[in-house]
Structure 1
Amino acid sequence: MLRFLTLCLILIGTTAHAEIDIKEVTSDGGIDAWVVEEPSIPFIALEIRFRGSATLDLPGKRGATNLMAALLEEGSGDMTAQEFQTAREALAARYSFRAFDDTLSISAQFLTENQDESLALLRQALIDPTFEQDAIDRVRAQVLSGIASDAKDPNSIANMALDAAAFGDHPYGSPVDGTVESVNGLIQEDMFTAHQNALTRDRLYVSVVGDITAEEVGPMLDDLLGALPAIGPDLPPDVDFGLKGGITVIDYDTPQSVALFGHEGIERNDPDFFAAYIMNHVLGAGSFESRLTQEVRVARGLTYGIGTYLVPKFHAEMVLGSVASANETIGEAIEVTRAEWARMAEEGLTAEELESAKTYLTGEYPLRFDGNSEIAKIMVGMQMIDLPPDYVVNRNDYIEGVTLEEVNRVASELLQPENLHFVVVGQPTGLESTN
């Protein structure tokens, strides 16, 4: 079944535009996909997402999904890892397998002339991985090396500490990579279990862009993905952001402290999300134009960079930010950040700030649709958060429709300076943990 929608994205103030014809496809096997036909270049980009990913790690098996995903191109069918890579290179195909908190991401790019062989090789990796012990040991060593590196990186330390304090025993409370103990304990059986749990058709999202017709996509997807398990295990429950306002200092020998800060946030499907998005742009996401950059960097020279971002995960929402400053000045940077947080909550935006943010956010949006792979990633991301295909047409209208009253009301409701918690890694002068 096909549904058609032609989308034209106009870059306001210029003649630049991108025209995207999205076709919604449902295969005979029940796999839904969004397709954009682009025959001008003999190239296809395929994006596959599975919801769940590392949140489905079993108790005591943290890091299993991450390790499993890294092993998908390390031997499958009757091929060793080296044979698989040789075959992939001969086809000039590219595959990527990544596990995140909520999403298992599979990306593929291949030439039209090698489509059948490239898809057959990808199918083999997805359907028939071997998880040989030598591959497990080799990739495990790489994961452990990454864990060891993160343990020495102040930013990673801050992230892990904030997640652990905010989410506790929930999967969000520990790294996707796992710990040294949990990764060392993983065995071959755990890889097959993680594969069975994470790659299931009930949580599957697909987009295809390139030199292929919508009619060809359905049979292609049934052949590629139809043999995967139909239903996966239950997803974890939603979880509250469990940190209240204060400061946590983690002693680390470095001349510069880093701070990660935040509190609970807003759901992506909340009617006020666009107002929050604009507010955050003005507060800390707008690079040099943001208030935090102006006050912390430009006016006082306390940092080279500070930023904030909305993080609407599937089971929790956050407003987060980060800043780095010398040990002697990080305390002042925190004070200014908290003061700007409170000022935005109390006073909101000005009319000039709102219009400037709208101009930027609507102007940069069409530039994201730069090439088959980027379009495919955008489309599959839209599917995962239940956005309709016409969102790309209407998105800028949503931005333009936000009023000053709405964005300032949302600022006062969303921003909670009293609940803003800072995790500081370094040896900050004059700062101590408050709880």
Structure 2
Amino acid sequence: MSADPTAPGFSLPIQVVEGGGFTAWLAEDHSVPVVSIAWSWPGGAALDPEGQEGASALAAALMTEGAGGLSALAFADALRDEGIGLEFSASRDSFDGSLRALAPALPQAVRLARLAMTEPTLAGPDVARLRARAIARARQSLEGPRGRGARAFWAAGYPDHPAGRPSGGTEESLAALTVEQLRAALGRNLRRIPGGPDGLLVAASGAITAPELAALLPELLGALPEGTLPAPPPLPAFRHFGTQVVPVASPQSYLLFGQPGIPVDDPDWEAAQVVLRILSGGGFTARLTRSIREERGLTYGIGAGLDVLFGQGVLTGSCATVNARVGELLSVLRAEWKRMADDGPTAEEMEEAVAYMTGSQPLQFTDSRRIAATLLAMRRNGRPLDWLERRPARLAAIGREQAAKLAARLLVPDQLSVTVAGQPEGL
């Protein structure tokens, strides 16, 4: 079934709300009395100094462990009593906050979020408890081929950039962090700065009107310290490193593969989504799944897509297989990579992929949290307000020739780098 370019696109009316010097995007919906708000700063783990990996992530986790005179237990009780969800996190390129609450509890949610951002306690026992948890996670991640392979893959792809370091920290870096360094990490990330790609971005969804959100923004964010954020180092191109093996005692090997992608503002971004849906997307129709799983039984699942870092897309994928068949799997993977680069997708594959991507779009917006997160991602990627509404027409307009040209530009077999963690045979 082909996509109809004249059919109305998925409608998600978005309002631009300004209040107290802040700008937010709002998808208002009063069908249920729930409000979700998400906000983000650029930076995150990219701003952690060398040797302090994990500082931003650990500091973010500690923000809800007591603030404004409330102990960790009292703060948790205050959230639980009102059914409030409040989270902070630091990824490789951003520092994020979000809250979700019933409409009557929204003032309390805003108050607690403001305290967490401006008066976090960072008490010694809480730091010790969350540090121990983070160290345990760091150790556990290196016990198997998946975690060890991932660390080696990113370190090889970005050897001289924070993107190549573990954003959650290592056992050694986490153990050495001081409370002063954790407070400094918050100071590097949390600022009252203008919106835009290089500033504080806010999005909201649910049972709140534009005037109510305009009044709420300064309550939530107005007490943040003024100032600019330190700029993370520019992201270099993903470095081609060929094939590397990370020895791990395991009956299976975990494979990560990747190459440079395209930036989020590339005119062919959505053509790339179509091509990758056909080559490596979900379901059993993807070429890699058919060739590697269905026809040869080499893996249970395989997929690849564009991983966005600092506005740049890095094409990455992964799978696992028994050690004895690693060489065979890689041969098939490279052959399918090259076949798509050389020939592009077929017209039938294009039609099926576009129909699926168009028809499944509304499923991404089943609750207020997902909607707020999507609006935030749209702002981060510089998308216009009508991006979602016009997406079906843009997808339908992608012809096979455009997709084939994009495939030849995007999929470069000679640039495909592979990390194999395990005891592989046949390489």
Q: TM-score range by the shorter chain?
A: over 0.9
Whether the 8 Å contact between 1:44 and 1:112 is mirrored in structure 2 is: yes
In the TM superposition, what is the alpha-carbon distance from 1:419 to its structure 2 partner? 1.7
In the TM superposition, what is the alpha-carbon distance from 1:79 to its structure 2 partner? 0.9
Whether the 8 Å contact between 1:348 and 1:407 is mirrored in structure 2 is: yes
Q: Where does residue 192 of structure 2 map in the other structure?
A: 201
Deviation by residue 1:311-346 (Cα, 9 ceiling, x = unmatched) = 231164311111111111111011100010011111
In the TM superposition, what is the alpha-carbon distance from 1:197 to its structure 2 partner? 1.0
AA of the residue aligned to 2:92: D
AA of the residue aligned to 1:350: T
Q: Distance in 2 between matches of 1:355 and 1:403?
A: 10
In the TM superposition, what is the alpha-carbon distance from 1:18 to its structure 2 partner? 6.2
Q: Out of 228, 241, 252, which is 2:238 matched to? A: 241
Deviation by residue 1:132-179 (Cα, 9 ceiling, x = unmatched) = 111111110000000000111311111110111110131101111111
Q: Where does residue 65 of structure 1 map in the other structure?
A: 56
Whether the 8 Å contact between 2:311 and 2:381 is mirrored in structure 1 is: no
Q: Distance in 1 between matches of 2:81 and 2:285?
A: 47
Q: Structure 2 vs 1, CA of residues 19 and 419 (structure 1 numbering), >3 Å: closer, same or farther? A: closer
In the TM superposition, what is the alpha-carbon distance from 1:196 to its structure 2 partner? 1.1
Deviation by residue 1:279-300 (Cα, 9 ceiling, x = unmatched) = 1111111421100100001111
AA of the residue aligned to 2:99: A
* Aligned residue runs from structure 1 range 190-269, under 5 A: 190-202=181-193, 203-230=199-226, 231-244=228-241, 246-269=242-265
AA of the residue aligned to 2:348: E
Q: Where does residue 136 of structure 1 map in the other structure?
A: 127
**Count of residue pairs brought into register by the alignment:** 418
Whether the 8 Å contact between 1:239 and 1:315 is mirrored in structure 2 is: no
In the TM superposition, what is the alpha-carbon distance from 1:379 to its structure 2 partner? 0.7
Whether the 8 Å contact between 1:241 and 1:317 is mirrored in structure 2 is: no
Q: Distance in 1 between matches of 2:79 and 2:21?
A: 29
Q: Out of 53, 68, 77, which is 1:86 matched to? A: 77
Q: Distance in 1 between matches of 2:100 and 2:264?
A: 29
Q: Where does residue 412 of structure 1 map in the other structure?
A: 408
TM-score between the two structures when normalised by the length of structure 2? 0.94
Higher mean C-alpha displacement, 337-346 vs 45-54: 45-54
Q: Where does residue 430 of structure 1 map in the other structure?
A: 426
Q: Where does residue 21 of structure 2 map in the other structure?
A: 30
Q: Does 1:107 align with 2:107?
A: no
Q: Out of 264, 269, 273, which is 2:269 matched to? A: 273
For 2:314, what is the secondary structure of its paired residue?
A: strand
Where does the alignment leave 5 or more consecutive residues of structure 2 unmatched? 194-198
Higher mean C-alpha displacement, 304-313 vs 226-235: 226-235
Q: Out of 12, 18, 22, which is 1:20 matched to? A: 12
Q: Structure 2 vs 1, CA of residues 205 and 315 (structure 1 numbering), >3 Å: closer, same or farther? A: closer
Q: Distance in 1 between matches of 2:383 and 2:253?
A: 39
Q: Where does residue 55 of structure 1 map in the other structure?
A: 46
* Aligned residue runs from structure 1 range 297-376, under 5 A: 297-314=293-310, 316-376=312-372
Q: Distance in 2 between matches of 1:98 and 1:285?
A: 28
Q: Does 1:121 align with 2:112?
A: yes
Whether the 8 Å contact between 2:12 and 2:388 is mirrored in structure 1 is: no
Whether the 8 Å contact between 1:23 and 1:35 is mirrored in structure 2 is: yes
Whether the 8 Å contact between 1:257 and 1:424 is mirrored in structure 2 is: yes
Q: Distance in 2 between matches of 1:261 and 1:337?
A: 10
Q: Distance in 1 between matches of 2:416 and 2:34?
A: 47
Alignment RMSD (CA, Å):
1.8
Q: Distance in 1 between matches of 2:312 and 2:221?
A: 30
Whether the 8 Å contact between 1:61 and 1:183 is mirrored in structure 2 is: yes
If asked which structure has higher relative contact order (CA below 8 Å, sep 6+), I would say 2
Higher mean C-alpha displacement, 355-364 vs 112-121: 112-121
Q: Where does residue 284 of structure 2 map in the other structure?
A: 288
For 1:429, what is the secondary structure of its paired residue?
A: coil
Q: Distance in 1 between matches of 2:399 and 2:388?
A: 21
Q: Distance in 1 between matches of 2:336 and 2:192?
A: 46
In the TM superposition, what is the alpha-carbon distance from 1:354 to its structure 2 partner? 0.8
Whether the 8 Å contact between 1:158 and 1:425 is mirrored in structure 2 is: yes
AA of the residue aligned to 1:167: Y
Shift >4 Å, 4+ stretches: 15-19
Higher mean C-alpha displacement, 73-82 vs 101-110: 101-110
Q: Does 1:166 align with 2:166?
A: no
Whether the 8 Å contact between 1:262 and 1:321 is mirrored in structure 2 is: yes
In the TM superposition, what is the alpha-carbon distance from 1:114 to its structure 2 partner? 1.6
* Aligned residue runs from structure 1 range 169-188, under 5 A: 169-188=160-179
AA of the residue aligned to 1:318: V
Whether the 8 Å contact between 1:263 and 1:419 is mirrored in structure 2 is: yes
Q: Distance in 2 between matches of 1:318 and 1:174?
A: 16
Q: Distance in 2 between matches of 1:80 and 1:16?
A: 52
Q: Distance in 1 between matches of 2:26 and 2:406?
A: 36
Of all paired residues, the percent bearing the same amino acid is 36
In the TM superposition, what is the alpha-carbon distance from 1:44 to its structure 2 partner? 0.9
In the TM superposition, what is the alpha-carbon distance from 1:12 to its structure 2 partner? 7.3
Whether the 8 Å contact between 1:17 and 1:366 is mirrored in structure 2 is: no
For 1:328, what is the secondary structure of its paired residue?
A: helix
Q: Distance in 2 between matches of 1:417 and 1:19?
A: 39
